[in-house]
Amino acid sequence: MDGAEVQRLAAECAEGLPGTVLEHPFGPEWDVHKVRGKVFMLATEVTGEPMVILKSAPDEASALRRQYAEITPGYHMNKKHWITLHGGGALEHGLIEELGTDSYRLVVAALPKAQQPVDPTSYARRAGQSLPDS
């Protein structure tokens, strides 16, 4: 899948998550998806290549970078906590959706409880699905 398709799928995922907004604080070339004012996804083509930048747990980010050539350290972000998705390879729709939702959950977990639009510990990896009660 090409970079434009990666961006489209990531944007669809972001738009379906509770309490999110799309802003352009860095100009029209940057789509910035936020939850309660905190960034969880960026999309741009400033390098001439479409890309999506997501928050990721450090261990998972490292493993993803080793597993997928299309996942690199976060462009213009903390390389330990952010990843960049590029087109042209093994990335599949389900993985893009999962990584977008995981980024959202990480940001929501850092919000004060009263501001959290969902419980990040029980909000499913797939957008719109809750985990069953244990």
Domains of the chain by range and CATH?
A: 3-115 (3.90.1150.30)
Is pTM beyond 0.85? Reply is yes
- The burial class, CB within 10 Å (0-12 / 13-18 / 19+), for 41 is buried
pLDDT tens track for 84-103:
999 988 899 999 999 999 99
pLDDT tens track for 37-96:
999 999 999 889 999 999 999 999 999 999 999 999 999 999 999 999 999 888 999 999
- Asked if 108 and 120 touch (Cβ cutoff 8 Å), the reply is yes
User: What's 104-122 look like in SS3?
Assistant: HHHHHHCCCHHHCCCCCCC
Radius of gyration of the chain (CA): 14
CB contact set of 102 (below 8 Å; sequence gap of 6+): 54, 55, 56, 57, 60, 125
